[in-house]
Structure 1
Amino acid sequence: MGIFNRVNDVIQSNIVAMLDKAEDPEKLLNLMLTDMQDALNECRTTAAALLCEEKIINRQIDTKKTELAAWQTKAEHAIKKGNDDLAKSALLEKQRVSESIVNKQTQLETLQESIAKIKADCERLQQKMTMAKTKQAQLMQRHNVVIARGRISTQLQSDKVAHALSRFDQVEQRVESIEAQIEAYELTDPANTTASQIEALVKNEKIDAELAQLKTSLKTDLKQTA
C-alpha cells in the first residue's frame, strides 16, 4: 500500500539533521508538521477501513461455519434415509464451504498483519509529531528571546532613553545639593553648638531646684495647717 510507504518515509526522516541543514528551520518544521499530520490522517483512515473489512470477513467466516454445520446435518440425514448419492452431494458442498473458510481465514490473517503494522506506524508517527512539536516550541522560544533582545538593544540605543537617563542624573544631583545644604545648616545652627547645649542644661538645673524648693514649702505649710 502507498500509505505504508508514505508513513514510513515520514517516520524515518531525521528531524534534527534536516533542521540543522535548513536555512529557515522554523518554516521547514511547520511544513514537516503539516506533512506528518496529513500522513497521520491517512494512516487513521486506512486503519479504520481495514478494521471495518476485518469485521466483514469475520461475519463471512461465521456464516460459512453455520453453512458448514448445515451441510454436515444434511449429509447425516441422507445417510439415515439410505440415500448415499444425496449424502455424497452434501459432503461435496461441505468440502466446498470448508475450503472457502480456509481462504477467508488466510485473508483475515493477512489483513490483521496489515492492521497491526498500520497501528504501530500510527503510534510511531504520533511520537514523531510530539518530538517535532517540542522542537517547534524550542525554536519559538529562541525566536522570542532574540526579538526581545533586539527590542531592548534598540531601546537602549534610542535618544529617548539617553534623555531620560540625563534627566535622572540632574534630579539626583539636585537632591544631593539639598541634602548638603541641610547638613551645613545643622552644623551652624546655634541650637546645636556646645555652648548653647551647656546653657540650656544650666537653665534646666535651676528650674529643677526651684521646683524642689516649692514642693518642700508646700509640704511644710500643709503640716502647719494640720
Structure 2
Amino acid sequence: MGIFTRFRDIVSANINAMLDRAEDPEKLIKLMIREMEDTLVELKSSCAGTIASQKKVSRLLEETCDKEAFWDQKAALAVSRGRDDLARQALLEKRRFSQRCEAVEQELTELKSIVAQYQDDIQELENKLKSAREKQRMLVQRHIRAQRKKKAHQEIRRVDSAQVVQRFDEMESNIERMEAEADLVNFGRKSDIEAAFEELSADDEIEQQLTELKSSQTRPKDDTVSH
C-alpha cells in the first residue's frame, strides 16, 4: 500500500467507530498510532526530499534565467557592432534558454504545490495522531480505573468476609465468657435442697448434743463420786 493510500485511509477513518467495534480497543489504538507514526515519518521524509528538489530546481531556474539574460545582452552587442550573424545565433541561444526557463519555472511551481500539499497532509495527520493519542490516554485511564475498581471490590468482599468471620468469633467468645461468668457465680454455692438437708443434719446434731447435756445434768451425784 502506497504512502498516499495509507494516509487517506488513516485520515478518513472514524477512530471512535472502529474502537467501538473492536474486541480489544487498546490493542487497536496502539496499532493505529503506530501506523500513523510510520506514515508520518514517510510523509516528512518525502516532503524533505521534495523541498530539496525544490531548492535544486530553484537554483537551476536562476541559472537558466541568467543564461537567457546573458544571450540577450550578446545579441544586443552583436547588433551594435553590425554582426547580424552573431546576433541571430545569440537570439537562438536566448530562445533556447527562455524555453528552458519556462519549463523549469513550471517544474518549480509543481514542486512548491507538492511541498504545500505534503505540509497540509503532515499537519492533518499530526492532528489525527494527537487525537488518537488522547483517545489512547483515555482508554488507558479507563483501564486503570477498571482495574482499581475491580481490585477495590475484591478487597471489599475479602474484608467483608473477614469481618463476618471476626464477628462470629467475637460472638462465640462473648457467649463462652458469659457462660464462664455464670459458672463462677454459682461456684462453691450449694443448691437450696442441699442446703435444707444440711440444715436438717445440723439441727439433729444440736438436738443430740442438747439431749446429752441434759442427761449428764440429771445423773445422781453419788454416781459421779463413785466414778
Counterparts of 1:19 and 1:60, CA distance in 2: 50
Counterparts of 1:16 and 1:159, CA distance in 2: 39
Alignment of 1:32-51 (within 5 A): 32-51=32-51
Match of 2:87 in 1: 87
Counterparts of 1:166 and 1:155, CA distance in 2: 16
Match of 2:198 in 1: none
Match of 2:222 in 1: none
C-alpha contact 1:3 1:42 (8 A) present in aligned 2: yes
Counterparts of 2:56 and 2:104, CA distance in 1: 10
Counterparts of 1:87 and 1:54, CA distance in 2: 34
What amino acid maps onto 1:151 in structure 2? Answer: K
Q: Which runs of 5+ in 1 are unaligned?
A: 175-226
C-alpha change, 1:99 and 1:152, in structure 2 (3 Å) is same
C-alpha change, 1:29 and 1:92, in structure 2 (3 Å) is same
Match of 1:8 in 2: 8
Question: Alpha-carbon deviations, 1:163-212, whole Å to 9, x = none?
Answer: 59837x95xxx9xxxxxxxxxxxxxxxxxxxxxxxxxxxxxxxxxxxxxx
How far the C-alpha of 1:154 sits from its partner, in A, is 1.5
What amino acid maps onto 1:132 in structure 2? Answer: A
How far the C-alpha of 1:4 sits from its partner, in A, is 2.4
Counterparts of 1:3 and 1:112, CA distance in 2: 19
* 1:73 paired to 2:97: no
What amino acid maps onto 2:7 in structure 1? Answer: V
C-alpha change, 1:126 and 1:165, in structure 2 (3 Å) is farther
C-alpha change, 1:70 and 1:144, in structure 2 (3 Å) is same
Question: Alpha-carbon deviations, 1:35-87, whole Å to 9, x = none?
Answer: 00000000110111111111111100110111111101111111122111110
Alignment of 1:77-226 (within 5 A): 77-158=77-158, 162-163=162-163, 166=166
C-alpha change, 1:159 and 1:5, in structure 2 (3 Å) is closer
Secondary structure in 1 matching 2:5: helix
Secondary structure in 1 matching 2:82: coil
Secondary structure in 1 matching 2:23: coil
Counterparts of 2:47 and 2:164, CA distance in 1: 66
What amino acid maps onto 2:141 in structure 1? Answer: Q
Counterparts of 2:75 and 2:81, CA distance in 1: 10
The structure that has the greater radius of gyration is: 2
Secondary structure in 2 matching 1:158: helix
How far the C-alpha of 1:5 sits from its partner, in A, is 2.4
Q: With the length of structure 2 as denominator, give the TM-score of the two structures.
A: 0.70
